[in-house]
């Protein structure tokens, strides 16, 4: 009987110019995020321990654990929210149509009885709070005129909700039932993320205007800002509080993550700028973050997840990556350790090592999409939608040196001869078969 040993997870879906939400459960030390119609749960202590929920009918956008970790609420681009558990498999509790458009953020109330969600809607219906078991509305949320990007629920009584969005506003609501109390327009651009501190004494908003503003958690008035000294030079897409509420983590389009100390006067002073791995390209912009227990998690536009230790910021982060698009082909190299190569629709080839997981992306000079791949010992052969078949060395000092042949038709499949790995066989739509030996190609 076959048994699942380990899972190599996809990376979170990301979109340039938008932040993404990753959240977590402090009890299990797991993070949760979305990609396509899937919701992915990954254990930070063992990133190969992964669960994937794929029951949404439309691309999922956000997911969160309930306060007790027993249930998960996940939402999608259609405005639908599903509430489910992981007890003996996936169990659906409820499904509600919450908004008329995409849901961008959601959060449970601290007592686990209500959920607030925000995103796109018609008219003024950009935010909704409801009872998680019945779907009954718990208040009215006037005050926004455009898409609401983020929402946060005060974790202590008296309960409050704060929201922020594309109209540059931060709105504050009292309840339940919730009613509009006041609004702030201190930001000069999209307000991408808003989060309450763990003790509920304050909340913070971050914006594409590169500023972070701190507010009183009970009355909603502005009380401080993140310092302009050492500030981000690009849009701030996400923010997350430390478990003790004394520090915050921010990530930005300037490709940096920063840790800020929140002083007694409620202003933020830069403590440390974290250097995330990468080549410095657009794909290294940071679009999501989470402070979970001792882990500082950042996510780049290209999908690379970096995990820092909060207790030892000098320690190099663990970097995890994977595919963002559909995987099209797999190849296995039987060695010790066993190496697995996977290719995806966007032309990315990733190397995995059994028992370890992600081991790097294979650089390519070609930009074509990959259709199939085969590997043997120290090289692999791949075919793409450009009608070419190419052979690349797996030795690091020869990465990217591809020997390609144009066969004039789109390959359907390929394989390598077991006893003569320099020989590859390629089939095409017409039913023909090609044998490729090094640079030569013969039609059969």
**Sorting pLDDT into bands at 50, 70 and 90, what band is 444?**
very low
Q: Are 212 and 206 in contact (CB under 8 A)?
A: yes
Interatomic CA distance for residues 110 and 105, integer angstroms? 16
Asked if residue 203 is part of any domain, the answer here is yes
Q: Let me know whether 210 and 339 are in one domain.
A: no
Asked if residue 5 is part of any domain, the answer here is no
Mean pLDDT (whole number) for 265-291: 93
Q: Are 392 and 379 in contact (CB under 8 A)?
A: yes
Mean pLDDT (whole number) for 256-265: 97
Give the structural domain span for 401: 327-443
Q: Let me know whether 213 and 316 are in one domain.
A: yes
Secondary structure (DSSP) of 201-270: SEEEEEETTS-EEEEETTT--EEEEB-STT--SS-EEEEEE-TTSSEEEEEETTS-EEEEEE-TTS-EEE
Q: Compute the mean pLDDT over every residue in the chain, rounded to the nearest whole number.
A: 91
Dump pLDDT digits (tens) for 130-155.
Answer: 999 999 999 999 999 999 999 999 99
Q: Are 273 and 256 in contact (CB under 8 A)?
A: yes
Number of folded domains that form the chain: 2
Asked if residue 85 is part of any domain, the answer here is yes
Among 289, 142, 158, CA closest to 212: 289
Among 260, 340, 270, 350, CA closest to 304: 350
Q: Let me know whether 397 and 437 are in one domain.
A: yes
Q: Let me know whether 159 and 288 are in one domain.
A: yes
Asked if residue 150 is part of any domain, the answer here is yes
Q: Write the CATH number for 437.
A: 2.130.10.10
Dump pLDDT digits (tens) for 33-91.
Answer: 999 999 999 999 999 999 999 999 999 999 999 999 999 999 999 999 999 998 778 99
Q: Let me know whether 266 and 391 are in one domain.
A: no
Dump pLDDT digits (tens) for 349-407.
Answer: 899 999 999 999 887 766 677 878 888 777 788 887 888 888 777 775 555 556 778 88
Q: Let me know whether 386 and 285 are in one domain.
A: no
Residue ending a domain, among 294, 320, 346, is 320
Q: Let me know whether 342 and 312 are in one domain.
A: no
By residue count, the chain amounts to 444
Q: Are 8 and 352 in contact (CB under 8 A)?
A: yes
Asked if residue 3 is part of any domain, the answer here is no
The answer for residues whose C-beta is within 8 angstroms of residue 438's C-beta and 6 or more apart is: 391, 403, 422
Q: Let me know whether 339 and 414 are in one domain.
A: yes
Q: Let me know whether 134 and 149 are in one domain.
A: yes
Q: Let me know whether 360 and 303 are in one domain.
A: no
Q: For the stretch 54-87, what's the b/e string if a residue is b when 16 or more beta carbons lie within 10 angstroms of its beta carbon?
A: eebeeebbbbbbbbebebbbbbbbbbbbbbbebe
In this prediction, residue 366 carries a pLDDT of 67
Residue ending a domain, among 320, 347, 382, is 320
In this prediction, residue 363 carries a pLDDT of 73
Residue ending a domain, among 320, 352, 378, is 320
Among 198, 39, 23, 275, CA closest to 31: 23
Q: Let me know whether 331 and 316 are in one domain.
A: no
Looking up tokens 């190419």 gives 390
With 0.85 as the threshold, say if the pTM is over it: yes
In this prediction, residue 380 carries a pLDDT of 80
In this prediction, residue 26 carries a pLDDT of 96
Dump pLDDT digits (tens) for 178-196.
Answer: 999 999 999 999 999 999 9
pLDDT above 90 coverage of the chain, percent: 72
In this prediction, residue 437 carries a pLDDT of 56
In this prediction, residue 432 carries a pLDDT of 59
Q: Is 426 a residue whose pLDDT tops 60?
A: yes
Beta strands in 310-402 (DSSP E): 318-320, 327-333, 339-344, 349-353, 357-361, 370-376, 379-384, 388-393
Dump pLDDT digits (tens) for 160-173.
Answer: 999 999 999 999 99
Query: CB-based burial of residue 204 (10 Å sphere; 0-12 exposed, 13-18 middle, 19+ buried)?
Result: buried
């Amino acid at each position: 009987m076959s048994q699942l040993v380990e899972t190599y997870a996809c990376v979170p879906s990301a979109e340039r110019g938008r932040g993404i939400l990753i959240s977590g459960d402090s009890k299990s030390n797991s993070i949760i995020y979305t990609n396509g119609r899937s919701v992915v749960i990954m254990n930070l202590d063992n990133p190969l321990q992964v669960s994937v929920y794929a029951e949404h009918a439309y691309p999922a956008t956000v997911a969160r654990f309930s306060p007790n970790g027993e249930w998960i609420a996940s939402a999608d681009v259609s405005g639908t929210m599903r509430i489910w558990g992981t007890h003996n498999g996936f169990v659906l509790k409820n499904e509600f149509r919450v908004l008329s458009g995409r849901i961008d953020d959601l959060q449970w109330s601290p007592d686990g009885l209500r959920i607030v969600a925000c995103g796109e809607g018609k008219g003024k219906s950009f935010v909704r709070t409801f009872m998680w078991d019945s779907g009954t509305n718990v208040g009215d949320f006037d005050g926004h005129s455009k898409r609401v990007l983020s929402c946060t629920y005060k974790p202590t009584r008296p309960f409050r909700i704060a929201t922020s969005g594309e109209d540059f506003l931060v709105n504050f609501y009292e309840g339940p039932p919730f009613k509009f109390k006041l609004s702030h327009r201190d930001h000069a651009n999209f307000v991408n993320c808003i989060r309450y501190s763990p003790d509920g004494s304050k909340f913070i908003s971050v914006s594409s205007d590169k500023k972070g503003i701190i507010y009183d958690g009970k009355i909603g008035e502005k009380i401080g800002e993140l310092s302009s000294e050492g500030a981000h030079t690009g849009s701030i897409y996400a923010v997350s509080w430390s478990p003790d509420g004394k520090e915050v983590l921010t990530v930005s389009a300037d490709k940096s993550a920063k840790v800020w100390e929140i002083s007694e006067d409620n202003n933020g002073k830069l403590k440390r700028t974290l250097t995330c791995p990468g080549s410095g390209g657009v794909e290294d912009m940071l679009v999501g973050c989470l402070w979970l227990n001792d882990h500082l998690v950042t996510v780049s536009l290209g999908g690379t997840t970096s995990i820092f230790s909060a207790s030892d910021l000098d320690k190099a982060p663990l970097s995890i990556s994977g595919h963002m698009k559909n995987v099209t082909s797999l190849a296995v190299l039987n060695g010790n350790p066993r190496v697995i190569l996977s290719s995806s629709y966007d032309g990315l080839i990733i190397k995995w090592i059994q028992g370890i997981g992600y081991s790097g992306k294979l650089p390519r000079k070609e930009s074509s999409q990959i259709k199939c791949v085969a590997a043997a010992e120290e090289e692999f052969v791949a075919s793409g939608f450009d009608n070419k078949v190419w052979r690349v060395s797996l030795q690091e000092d020869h990465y990217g040196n591809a020997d390609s042949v144009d066969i004039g038709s789109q390959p359907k499949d390929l394989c390598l001869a077991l006893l003569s790995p320099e020989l590859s066989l390629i089939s095409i739509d017409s039913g023909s078969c090609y044998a490729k030996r090094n640079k030569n190609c013969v039609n059969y």
